[in-house]
Structure 1
Amino acid sequence: MDFTFKEEQQQFADALRRWVDKDYGFEARKKIIHSEAGVSQQAWATLVELGMLALPVPEQQGGFDGSAVDMMVVMQELGRGLVVEPYFATVLGAQFLKLAGGQEAALAQVAAGELKLACALGEQQSRHALDDVQTTAVDGRINGRKTVVLHGAQADALIVSARSDGGISLYLVARDAAGVRVTDCRTIDGQRAATVEFDGAPGTLLGAQGAGWPILEAAADYGAALLCAEAMGAMDAIFAATLEYLKTRQQFGAPIGKFQALQHRMADMFIHLEQARSMAMLAAVKAGSSDAEERRRVVSAAKVRVGQAARFVGQQAVQLHGGMGVTDELPAAHYFKRLAMIELTLGDVDHHLERFIAQPGFREAA
């Protein structure tokens, strides 16, 4: 099976990498993180100019109709560059709009970079169970509280899950609508997240009333596959940084990379990295599968394997860097924090392991 990227995909990756290397380096990123906004409008404009926002949008709405595999190429480079812009939140929101249908105008705005989205799905009691929804919607008015909404304060509109007659419904809510209160904060990895409270906020129904769960689950699986790709980019970068450190750090008159015990650690990291890469690729291929059971199995398996690899590779990299590995002065600490947050986003290892085991046929096959 050929796992090489197509020429067009590689061109997207190369363009992103050149921009990150030139304009979004480590020091530039730190300035963005510590700015009041926490994001860069200039960086967002560049992503739009490069066609990254148009990539997942259908051609009819001015996009390139890119698949999850196309998006994998982009997310890997964003992970390698530790980009903190609200790209993931927006393309995940766009996936909700695509699956719900009837949101062509909003999708065209996403493709043009004129509409930033965020997904308000989790609640204080729900942890990783996105079907545990206490936020309510009555006659299109939403009441409740959503937590850890990635880039919620930077978004123009929010995708909100709410309990309504017949089940879970999805709504598109303007961030500045009456009855919406947003409290922004910075997460440990330098990203932005928000607590969003709704007090009778008006929303536009996405899809059918009470039929939002299949859309929510499918979009969340798509998002999990993208996060696996981002984690691969971050792991590639932290592995390369650790290898370079072992080649240059001197002890007892020789580079520490010559010590066999440390070589064994690097070999173990590489094995974890390549196994995770295979699962991330498979998740990207199956993220849009019409077979929901297959999609659930593959995405959960990938989230488990990538999460395990992220933890192992990150921890080993920090240890091999010594005390410097946990300081803000070195990129290793920033990659480690981002990998930790990816593992917790849209379901951690334990959650997806339980989900994988619960799929039909698992116990019979075992």
Structure 2
Amino acid sequence: MTMLLSQEQELLRDSAAAFLAQEAPVAQQRRLRDARVEQGFDTPLWQQMVEMGWPVAVLPESHQGLDVGYLGIGAVFEAIGRNLSAQPLLSQAVLAPELLIRAGSAAQQAQWLPLLANGQARLALALEDSSGQYPAHRSGTLAERTASGWSLCGEKSFVLDGVGAKGFMVLAVSEEGVPGLWLVPADARGVSVSPMRMIDSRNMAHVRFDKVALSSEMALVGRPANRALEEVLDRGRACLAAESLGLLREVFERTVSYLKERVQFDVPIGSFQALQHRAARLYVELELLQSSVLAALEAIDSGSEAQVPALVSLAKAKASDLCERLCNEAIQLHGGIGVTDELDIGLFFKRARVLQRLLGDGIYHRNRFAQLKGF
């Protein structure tokens, strides 16, 4: 595996890095947090990202996408992590359109894919039940057959970008326990949405479905729910691992710079061998994470579907573990100032804690990797 970016992917990477550093830096995330913006991102800025083609970056040309591959979009997510840029890219460019392509009908694709591409509407994946149990394939949300169709009852928590979404792609089980996916409009009778206050100040929602009437046109039946979901979630996990990589590299570099600048006993504390050893170990872990992330992204691009689950779980497990370890080390190496709000390290720490658990934490993905390898 060469793991080299194409010219088109390099252009996307460089333009994303420059744009986000200028228009969506860490300072903007602080402003969004302080203003308590419910949707968690700036709408005009998101529209600029739409105009740059990011929501259709990985979609195939047959669906009017740019088809730059996951190595390309992974570079964008790495830049997002470095800048703590708040945007709904994961849900709108990966989870929703990929699930529509795999499980949606031609009518559903024709209705929703153009809306996602031009930023006129957003869809949110409603996966986890209110218990927070993961994985959520044994959903407690029930789609019960009625005389006129089906009735949906249940609650979903940690719905990514759920506040302001025009519809929800809901995982529910039938009375026989068979999982299924439903595309439910947000304004349907019986749907109620409330924001969840997360430590990273991003858009998360709690959604309640109270006897929501479902019709056959709302079912996503292109592929079995479990198969379609796992394929899509693995792509989302790879992107989260790439975002984690960018965030952790930025935290590491800021910490090393601080070690070189902070003077104690008339010398920079970075001259102390014990601190150098701690930094060196973190550097090695970052390099291992980068290799894992690139391998997962390239496996997706090459169509090696048999290898994707294990490589993605390897990358996500490493990313989740390092989100905890490296950020903890960064806080400690900064000393007392590391726990103050005035220092941006705290914002990175909080985002890392959420990334650590999104779509499965390290424990889940280590177990999944072991099972995939026959242990």
* TM-score, reference length from structure 2: 0.90
Answer whether contact 1:180 1:197 (CA < 8 A) is retained.
yes
Q: Which residue of 1 aligns with 2:268?
A: 255
Q: Distance in 2 between matches of 1:117 and 1:274?
A: 35
Q: Which one of 91, 114, 118 corresponds to residue 89 of structure 1?
A: 91
Note if 1:206 corresponds to 2:220. yes
For 1:238, the equivalent position in structure 2 comes to 251
Higher mean C-alpha displacement, 31-40 vs 174-183? 31-40
Aligned to 1:149: 159
For the residues of structure 2 that align with 1:289 and 1:54, how far apart are their CA atoms?
Answer: 19
SS in 2 for 1:219: helix
Q: How does 1:320-335 map to 2 (within 5 A)?
A: 320-335=333-348
Instruction: Report whether the alignment pairs 1:131 with 2:133.
Output: no
Of residues 104, 119, 131 in structure 2, which corresponds to 1:113? 119
Q: CA deviation at 1:152?
A: 0.7
- Residue identity matched to 2:41: V
1:289 and 1:346 map into 2 onto residues whose CA distance is: 23
CA contact (8 A) 1:94 1:110 kept: yes
Alignment of 1:259-338 (within 5 A): 259-287=272-300, 293-338=306-351
- Summarize deviations over 1:240-259 as a string: whole Å, max 9, x none: 11111112111112221111
Secondary structure in structure 2 of the residue aligned to 1:262: helix
In 2, the alpha carbon distance for the partners of 1:6 and 1:292 equals: 21
1:184/1:192 contact within 8 Å kept: yes
Aligned length: 361
Task: State the 1:111 CA deviation.
Answer: 1.4
Cα distance in structure 1, aligned partners of 2:231 and 2:26: 34
Distance 2:341 2:31 in 1: 13
What is the CA-CA distance between 1:15 and the residue it aligns to?
A: 1.6
Shift of 1:200: 2.6
Question: Which residue number corresponds to residue 49 of structure 1?
Answer: 51
Q: CA deviation at 1:126?
A: 5.3
Q: Deviations over 1:57-87 (max 9, x none)?
A: 3323332123222221111111111112222
Identify the residue that residue 66 of structure 1 maps to in structure 2: 68
Shift of 1:165: 5.9
State the identity as a percent. 32
SS at match of 1:119: strand
| Structure 1 contact 123–147 (Cα < 8 Å) conserved | yes
CA distance in structure 2 between the partners assigned to 1:140 and 1:357 by the alignment: 38
Root-mean-square deviation (CA), in Å? 2.0
Residue 208 of structure 1 and its aligned partner are, at CA, apart by 4.9
CA distance in 1, matches of 2:238, 2:30: 27
Match of 1:16? 16
For 2:303 and 2:172, the matched residues in 1 are separated by 25
> Residue in 2 aligned with 1:100?
103
Letter aligned with residue 182 of structure 2: Y
What is the rounded CA distance, in whole Å, between the counterparts of 1:289 and 1:63 in structure 2? 17
Change over 3 Å in CA distance of 1:341–1:126 after alignment to 2: closer
- Hey, what does 1:183 align to over in structure 2? 194
Distance in structure 2 (CA, Å) of the matches to 1:286 and 1:154: 34
Helix, strand or coil for the counterpart of 2:56?
coil
Deviation of the 1:182 alpha carbon: 0.4
Mapped partners of 2:79, 2:251: distance in 1: 13
Quote the offset at 1:309 in angstroms.
2.1
Secondary structure of 1:34 counterpart: helix
Q: Is the 8 A contact 1:288 1:295 kept in 2?
A: no
**CA distance 1:75–1:329, change in 2 (3 Å):** same
Contact 2:24 / 2:86 at 8 angstroms: preserved in 1? no
CA distance in 1: counterparts of 2:97 and 2:197, whole angstroms: 24
Cα distance in 1, alignment partners of residues 110 and 262 from structure 2? 55
Give the deviation of 1:177 after TM superposition: 2.0
CA drift at 1:27? 2.3
CA distance in 2 between partners of 1:333 and 1:297 (Å): 32
Q: CA deviation at 1:214?
A: 0.7
Deviation at residue 354 of structure 1 after TM alignment: 1.3
Aligned counterpart, 2:28: 28
Say whether residues 1:158 and 2:182 are aligned partners: no
**Per-residue Cα deviation, 1:258-313 (whole angstroms, up to 9, x for no partner):** 11111111111100100011111111122467665532222212211222222221
Work out the CA distance in 1 between the residues paired with 2:102 and 2:155: 24
Whichever residue aligns with residue 374 of structure 2, its letter is F
